[in-house]
Amino acid sequence: MNTPRPIHVSFVIDRLSRAGTESQLLALLQGLDRNKFHPSLVLLDGTDEESQSLEPQGLPIIRLGLKRLLGPEAIRASASLLRFWRKDRPDVVQSYFLDSSYFAIPLARLLGIRKVVRVRNNLGYWLNGKHLPLGRLMGRLAHWTLTNSEVGKRALNEIERGNASKIAVIENGVDLERFRECSPVFWENRVLTVGAVANLRPVKNIDGLIRVASQLRHLPLRWEVAGTGPEQNHLLHLIESYQLADRFFLKGAIQEIPTFLKGIDIAVLPSHSESMSNALLEYMAAGRAIVATDTGANATLVRHGIEGQIVPPKTDPLLAQAIACYSKEPILAHQHAKNAQKRVQERFSRQAMIHRFEEFYQACLKG
């Protein structure tokens, strides 16, 4: 009896990094059942040292070295990718981010790939100009668009005008094993550390967190943010202007997020916009007391008053109030942290996410 051929899935992304979407993809590449699935990886650029260091072993990988989507370089990259796919014979092509989608989706359709899938895990808060019509075109060309929350699905359907039947939700998962040494803490009469894991971009609202720190300077709190980004110099200036240099610290890129979170008592997600936050899942897995803004799937992951506190976005006073509440009520903070850790263990493991993707590939190829 012939063994069924594994389903070939070719993943396309700009480059690899330790950011949320890229980390989810790397986990999927490593976790897919190799008896049933054969993954390959296409990197639009991928020539930098960090990206190359993160390349997984044991699967076909091509780096296209493409930095601009127009011009002779793009023509050469297109020819290289078509040769790669003709050799690898993927059943599914799955693209991430705008440039990779613009580049890969038309080529995949041209080659007659059975199913072309686009991943869109943000709410499109920044889309404008050419990206709106191009996004709608990619939505029509793709057989499916995947997003990681029902909120994301509604936003995509609104932006792209009625493609709801082609949008599927696959929730993110977190690697629980990395957080096995983390457990909820109980504090009394000591300086607490309030922390966040975030790229330093305006949408993450770290400037708002600095303002909150200024409002709460009367409390024994220390503040730490793990992450880098274009706002770093602005935020450092803001810290100085609020005279917080002795208590608010930008820690830069942190590779061992579990270790960082073990040193945090209250974990904050102050973003203006999210879809399904990987940082929030990590806060839950680490068993931290959580304060998050009510954007994207945050209030679905962390139910207000059960696993944490949810406040409206862009409301610094309410964010400050919630943090102050935990600092003064350690029993409440400890109970919420325990509930959050239990919830993520039951519903949002990395293996559960991989299984959802495997079921999706099998189902969409039957349709």
Q: What is the DSSP letter of 192?
A: E
CB 245 within 8 A of CB 236: no
pLDDT computed for residue 162 by the predictor: 62
pLDDT computed for residue 274 by the predictor: 87
* Domains of the chain: residue spans and CATH: 7-173+349-366 (3.40.50.2000), 176-347 (3.40.50.2000)
pLDDT computed for residue 152 by the predictor: 84
Residue 39 CB: number of other CB atoms within 10 A?
Answer: 26
CB 304 within 8 A of CB 223: no
Compute φ and ψ for 234, nearest 5 degrees: -60, -40
CB 354 within 8 A of CB 32: yes
pLDDT computed for residue 3 by the predictor: 66
Q: Supply 121's token pair.
A: 């895990």
CB 91 within 8 A of CB 365: yes
pLDDT computed for residue 130 by the predictor: 75
pLDDT computed for residue 316 by the predictor: 94
CB 216 within 8 A of CB 320: yes
pLDDT computed for residue 91 by the predictor: 98
Residue 215: which residues within 8 A CB-CB, separation 6 or more?
316, 317, 320
Residue 90 CB: number of other CB atoms within 10 A?
Answer: 25
Q: How far apart are the C-alpha atoms of 108 and 117, rounded to whole Å?
A: 10
Question: H-type helices in the chain, by residue range?
Answer: 20-31, 49-53, 72-88, 98-111, 131-141, 150-159, 206-215, 232-241, 257-262, 278-286, 298-301, 316-328, 330-347, 350-366
pLDDT computed for residue 163 by the predictor: 67
Compute φ and ψ for 61, nearest 5 degrees: -135, 140
pLDDT computed for residue 188 by the predictor: 87
Question: Can you tell me whether residue 118 is helix, strand or coil?
Answer: strand
Question: Residue 139 class from Cβ within 10 Å (0-12 exposed, 13-18 middle, 19+ buried)?
Answer: buried
- Please write the tens of the pLDDT for every residue from 222-270: 999 999 999 999 999 999 999 999 999 999 999 899 999 999 999 999 9
What is the Cβ-side half-sphere exposure of residue 280, based on CA atoms within 13 angstroms?
Answer: 31
Q: Strands across the sheet with 192-197, in order?
A: 248-252, 221-226, 192-197, 266-269, 289-293, 309-311
Q: What is the DSSP letter of 227?
A: B
Question: H-type helices in 222-329, by residue range?
Answer: 232-241, 257-262, 278-286, 298-301, 316-328
Q: How far apart are the C-alpha atoms of 345 and 89, rounded to whole Å?
A: 37
pLDDT computed for residue 108 by the predictor: 97
pTM of the model: 0.80
Q: How far apart are the C-alpha atoms of 70 and 40, rounded to whole Å?
A: 25
Regions of the chain short of the pLDDT cut 70: 1-3, 123-129, 162-164
CB 148 within 8 A of CB 169: yes
